[in-house]
Structure 1
Amino acid sequence: MNVENLLRETLADMADEQVPPPPARFLPNRPARRRGAALAAAVTVVALALGGTIAVRTLSPEAGRPEAPVAARPEPERTHKMTINEGWRVARLFDNLSRATGEPAESFARAAEDGRALGLPPYAKGRLEGFAHPGTYSFADSATPAAILTEMVARFRETADELGLASRRAPLDVVIIASLVQAESPTEADMPKVARVIHNRLARGMLLQLDSTVLYGLGRYRGDITTEDLKVRSPYNTYRHRGLPPGPISNPGEAALKAALHPAAGPWLHFVVTDPKRGTLGFATTGEEFAELAERAARARLSG
């Protein structure tokens, strides 16, 4: 029977019930509530015919009360948005991630011990320092410390691929130089010149003599370097040891990586912060020029 015939018969039955029913309608074997059943059948047929879905709140046959509504969908998982600044060390990174996510900083430190699981490139030698790429990230509540750090490493590798870092003869040296450039440059505009000074001093076999590396070895972030500090036998003391330190001292951004790869052209061998308030760098080639810059810097500190 097609839909139209079934509807026609059902509606006809309902119309017939407008007149008083004959006595035979009250026999014991007569099905009860025929009109309600017919109406339900009609609704079902119409729904099937239209290909739609009708949500009906029915009564429980046992309790005679409305059935429990379908459970609501769970709310979306909360996320944390966080910006990782250029030049942060991993120790500071772990502290800030801990505050943002509620996970202990030690959990991030433990996750960082497995460099292979984080996807570190082979030349990183298993150390996260230098390879947790700065940027803005969104982390779900359920994200583990390992998953968060893995995303940062993945972003580093993406940037490194764009810059062709892996094709360089010593990619780790590039990252180390970039971390020095990041730590020593007040602005991005200074980075190519700072990188050139580092390259020039390395080419001449000169000591780098960078305060940032000494501070890293001492576990400090800022402050004046004392004579006693310069005597420390740390491998990061570039006043005592020639060449680059054994690893990056911070996590550099893209601008610092570019500067390390493409330093400015110039003969400079020194740079000095000549105006601490403005963060102005002066560059020098000779010892005399350096002495003049140092004197200018001293005057600026006294006047400030």
Structure 2
Amino acid sequence: MDAYDKGSNARPVPGEPEAAVPDSRPPEGQETSDGHGTPDSHGPPVGQTPSARIPQQYGDQQEQPYEGQQYGDQQYDGQHDDERYDDTALAGPPLPPPPAGIAALSLPYQIAAALALAVVAVAACVHVGMVFLHVAPSNTVTKQHGQAIDEWIYPEFEQNWKLFAPNPLQQNIAVQVRADVRAADGEIRTTRWYDLSALDGAAIDGNLLPSHTQQNELRRAWDFFVATHDNANRPNGLRGALSEKYLRRIVVLRLDREQAGGRGAVVQQVQVRSRTTNVPPPKWSQEQVSDKPIVRQLPWWPVSEADRAAGTRPGEPTGTEASAR
């Protein structure tokens, strides 16, 4: 039997010379049946170990060097793996965040925003200073510029300390109004009494965020009038006429809102009254108060064109146009 019948892995017979093992590699420059070239044409360069070849070309996995193994022209020591394979260094430094706020606007808009903020800051400082001078004791500034301070404060920003006084307010005051109106057919009619305080209370009841107007406008207007008039309803200072005009325009606005006298009716004159009742004391108190209401009724006030215009509904005629109808 031939010594090599069982393949190239068979052992040779002792005493016989070794037969040359046929080279299964194709000649240099030719491709094998699997599409790869000869090792001479595609093998590793001279002086480089087979483990250093490019594994991605043949689909096998890259052999990981161990510590102390020669890796190319350097010796692998098992350190600085993170530095060798750190891909973040190739991305460069991180980009700065985009600008926010005013800096994100263009230059003209930045200038406009800065000017608006400056105006708001100046107005806030002036208002705080005026309120401080109003509540501060009499001094040189208030004596010389008291009129300017009062014009800034009254009537919208008047300060009231009754809540913290030793004897706080213990009365319920209802402001009511009625009016003489010219109806659409030309007839003059007198309306019923409208309880404006009750209307404000109904709007506030159950409202988690009532407006400042609903809570304080009518109440502060009446307090302003009482403080500037005597018991005979005569003004006792220069602010008396201002308080009358302020209260009159508010009630005309409320009458228009309630459509007093019907649609298209024009208010000719108004009459205001207050109904004051004492708050009952608690049961454990020995204090005795009267439960009878006190009514203060003002004279009739003619309504001017300016007063009527302040309370006119949008689209409704005013003045001569309404009278012509």
TM (norm. structure 1) is 0.19
Specify which structure has the higher proportion of strand: 2
Q: For the pair shown, which has the larger CA radius of gyration, 1 or 2?
A: 2
Which fold has the larger relative contact order, with Cα–Cα distance below 8 Å and residues 6 or more apart in sequence? 1
TM (norm. structure 2) is 0.18
Specify which structure has the higher proportion of helix: 1
